[in-house]
């Protein structure tokens, strides 16, 4: 009995993680694919004329088991992987690519979809139904349905290879992250580091059998504090070079060849489908619409931000010199001297703030914000199985105490978890057979772990990260669509970051901080002067960060234009792409591209600009909240109805205008950043 092929007899149909064995996944996927193919066969063999119901809705419902099982598997491969799971992934990924292609290149199926599409104007369809029809038809075309048979086969080969390369890229980054650690045996080399960082490093050393020393890793909760506080400049340089050279050392974990192969294959795929470049292909289905529009957007930001960023860097260099620092700052000096200058200017640093951001209090705070805005309640569940003991699970109830979602939270780094923070789901939302199937949503982060003497105390950036990912989670939890493929976060990539980024704004507001920012020992609320300093310092080095983000977005776009297919040297090409956004001397032997998982493993290729794009949306949206009160129910209801609940049911600009009453203003972001006075 393969439990993955049975109906889950668990609370709310949650995955029975403790009963799932690794060996179940491959046969379960194979069986689910067979069932999915039978679903499609029923559609194509239907003798009745194609209709929206017997073709589009039937196709939407097909392959549900494939989605469920692959969702569980690939979430584990990101959050709790091991060699066995990674090996299985290499078998499963090509099967899923092939299955997807079998559907998208099925001529009979396409002809039925096309027949309905051509009648669209005469059909009485709702806006959501029209979106499903339009998206499905374009999905077929964008996946080669109009190609001759020989080119369809070529497309299949490319997709299988791209899927394999993505897995290899991610595995190499994870191995490189886990393989490096820096052991410190002389206590003098810990100078400048906060006590809790030292304590965590001692705990890591103990876990690695090196008791009596201190170990620092490339996991962010270890790496970032070291780069920010360690007085030993040589060790900061060592850590920086280790982090920056991940998968860029010409060894078995090197990602350079993978990048060059992926870039060529993506370009070839786009050309096969009639697009000039991969960027043109991707952006057809984005708010930005075309590469030229993205480049104009980035150049406009750079025009305003770069002169301010250059002043920020000069001020930082002058300050470093004034306190006995080096004549010339290198990249491993920026976080260190920025933190000192921030303290000098605003008398605030993370060590002052962290006691007020105990993880459990911040979780309670984000729950209270969701309650005040949307009437949600969160009840911890102890009877739901989890994939790791650290994972917590909550039932989400609406203002009428109706079941709304299941919410998973996984907060701490582990060797089997990839770095960063993300949202995922184990089940999407949809309306089916008269039932509203509610979603199972998860956020996965890598925060500082509790120690023997201290609970998990978050840096201010980690608080922002938690609110950011929870904003994504709200998009999933409050989904209220008919079709899963258009529900929740299933929206254009340059719109998906709006709910996450807008929620970060509440972290800067007194009315919100008063709910949860309490000293972990005394329970005292965060002092008013600290809140004032948080707001005053919010734009510290903001232009520098904006230029950095623009640089990453330009790097992404540069890898997905025709010129990139001729590249032989990853490092040299990256240097060329980043030239206009470099504010410090480039460092030899490091590369951003080789560990740029967003674009070479995740779904952000030709889409990294969307973070800044969504910042324009979120700055404009939050101005609307501020005008009416940050907990104003009417504004929250508008945002819930037209953004969070609407998902991808209509074009995002139409949804945004219904919420805001107008198109977003880019000036809102520049004003908030202090770049535009």
Residues with catalytic function? 469
Q: Read off φ and ψ for residue 523, nearest 5 degrees.
A: 80, 0
How far is the C-alpha of 97 from the C-alpha of 107, rounded, in Å? 17
Q: Which residues contact 435 (CB under 8 A, 6 or more apart)?
A: none
Q: Read off φ and ψ for residue 456, nearest 5 degrees.
A: -70, 110
Distance, first Cα to last Cα, the chain: 66
Contacts 24+ apart (CB under 8 A), 391-399: 393/14, 395/12, 396/477, 398/374, 399/374, 399/375
Strands 403-410 and 440-444: parallel
How far is the C-alpha of 287 from the C-alpha of 294, rounded, in Å? 10
**The two structure tokens encoding residue 389:** 């003991």
How far is the C-alpha of 93 from the C-alpha of 85, rounded, in Å? 12
Find out whether 413 and 221 touch, Cβ atoms under 8 Å.
yes
CA 496 to mean position of chain CA atoms:
10
Radius of gyration of the chain (CA): 25
**The two structure tokens encoding residue 286:** 């984005």
* Helix, strand, or coil (residue 276): coil
How far is the C-alpha of 591 from the C-alpha of 244, rounded, in Å? 6
**CA–CA distances in Å: residue 554 to residues 95, 204, 297, 538, 619:** 33, 37, 11, 25, 22
* Helix, strand, or coil (residue 431): strand
How far is the C-alpha of 218 from the C-alpha of 502, rounded, in Å? 29
Strands 403-410 and 435-437: unpaired
How far is the C-alpha of 565 from the C-alpha of 559, rounded, in Å? 8
Angle between helices 334-346 and 220-229 (to 10 degrees): 70
Find out whether 333 and 315 touch, Cβ atoms under 8 Å.
no
Other CB atoms within a 10 A radius of the CB of residue 614 amount to 24
Angle of CA points 667, 670, 676, to nearest 5°: 95
How far is the C-alpha of 108 from the C-alpha of 97, rounded, in Å? 19
How far is the C-alpha of 36 from the C-alpha of 358, rounded, in Å? 46
How far is the C-alpha of 164 from the C-alpha of 216, rounded, in Å? 32
* Residue showing tokens 């938690």: 466
CA 436 to mean position of chain CA atoms:
27
How far is the C-alpha of 580 from the C-alpha of 571, rounded, in Å? 16
């Amino acid at each position: 009995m393969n439990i993955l092929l049975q109906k889950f007899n668990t609370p709310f149909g949650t995955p029975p993680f403790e009963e799932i064995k690794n060996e179940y996944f491959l046969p379960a996927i194979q069986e689910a694919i067979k069932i999915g193919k039978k679903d499609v066969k029923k559609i194509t063999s239907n003798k009745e004329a194609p209709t929206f119901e017997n073709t589009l809705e039937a196709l939407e419902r097909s392959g549900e088991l494939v989605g469920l099982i692959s969702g569980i598997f690939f979430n584990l491969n990101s959050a709790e992987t091991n060699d066995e799971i990674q090996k299985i992934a290499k078998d499963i990924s090509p099967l899923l690519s092939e299955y997807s292609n079998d559907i998208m290149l099925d001529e009979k199926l396409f002809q039925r979809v096309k027949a309905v599409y051509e009648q669209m104007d005469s059909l009485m369809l709702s806006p959501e139904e029209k979106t499903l029809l339009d998206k499905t038809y374009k999905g077929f075309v964008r996946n080669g349905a109009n190609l001759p048979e020989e080119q369809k086969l070529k497309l299949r080969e490319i997709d299988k290879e791209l899927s394999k390369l993505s897995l290899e890229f991610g595995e190499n980054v994870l191995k490189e992250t886990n393989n490096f650690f820096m052991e410190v045996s002389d206590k003098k080399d810990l100078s400048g580091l906060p006590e809790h960082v030292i304590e965590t490093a001692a705990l890591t050393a103990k876990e690695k059998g090196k008791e009596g020393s201190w170990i620092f890793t490339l996991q962010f909760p270890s790496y970032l504090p070291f780069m920010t506080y360690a007085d030993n400049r040589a060790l900061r340089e060592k850590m920086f070079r280790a982090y920056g050279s991940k998968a860029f050392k010409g060894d078995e974990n090197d990602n350079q060849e993978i990048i060059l192969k992926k870039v060529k294959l993506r370009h070839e795929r786009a050309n096969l489908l009639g697009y000039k470049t991969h960027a043109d292909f991707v952006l057809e289905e984005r708010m930005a619409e075309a590469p030229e529009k993205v480049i104009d957007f980035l150049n406009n930001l750079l025009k305003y931000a770069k002169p301010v960023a250059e002043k920020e860097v000069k001020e930082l260099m002058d300050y470093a010199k004034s306190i006995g620092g080096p004549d010339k700052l290198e990249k491993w000096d920026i976080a260190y001297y920025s933190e000192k200058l921030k303290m000098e200017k605003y008398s605030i640093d993370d060590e002052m703030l962290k006691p007020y951001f105990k993880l459990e209090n911040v979780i309670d705070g984000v729950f209270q914000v969701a309650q005040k805005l949307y009437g949600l309640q969160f009840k911890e569940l102890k009877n739901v199985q989890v994939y790791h003991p650290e994972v917590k699970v909550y039932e989400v109830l609406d203002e009428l105490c109706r079941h709304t979602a299941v919410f998973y939270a996984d907060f701490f780094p582990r060797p089997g978890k990839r770095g960063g923070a993300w949202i995922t789901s184990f089940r999407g939302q949809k309306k089916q057979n008269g039932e509203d199937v509610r979603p199972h949503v998860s956020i996965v982060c890598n925060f500082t772990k509790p120690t023997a003497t201290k609970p998990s105390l978050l840096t201010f950036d980690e608080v922002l990260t938690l609110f950011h990912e929870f904003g994504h989670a709200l998009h999933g939890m409050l989904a209220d669509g008919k079709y899963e493929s258009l529900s929740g976060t299933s929206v254009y990539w340059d719109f998906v970051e709006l709910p996450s980024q807008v929620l970060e704004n509440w972290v800067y507001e007194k009315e919100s901080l008063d709910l949860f920012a309490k000293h972990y020992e005394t329970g005292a609320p965060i002092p008013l002067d600290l809140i004032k300093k948080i707001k005053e310092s919010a734009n510290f080095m903001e232009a520098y960060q904006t230029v950095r983000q623009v640089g990453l977005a330009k790097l992404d776009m540069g890898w997905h234009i025709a010129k990139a297919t001729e590249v032989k040297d990853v490092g040299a090409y990256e240097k060329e792409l980043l030239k206009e956004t470099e504010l410090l001397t480039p460092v030899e032997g490091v590369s951003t591209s080789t560990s740029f998982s967003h674009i070479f493993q995740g779904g952000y290729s030709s889409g990294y600009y969307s973070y800044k794009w969504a910042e324009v949306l979120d700055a404009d949206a939050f101005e609307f909240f501020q005008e009416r009160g940050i907990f104003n129910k009417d504004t929250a209801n508008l945002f819930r109805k037209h953004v969070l609940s609407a998902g991808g049911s209509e074009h995002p600009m139409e949804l945004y205008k219904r919420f805001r009453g107008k198109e977003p203003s880019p000036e809102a972001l520049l004003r908030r950043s202090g770049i535009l006075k």
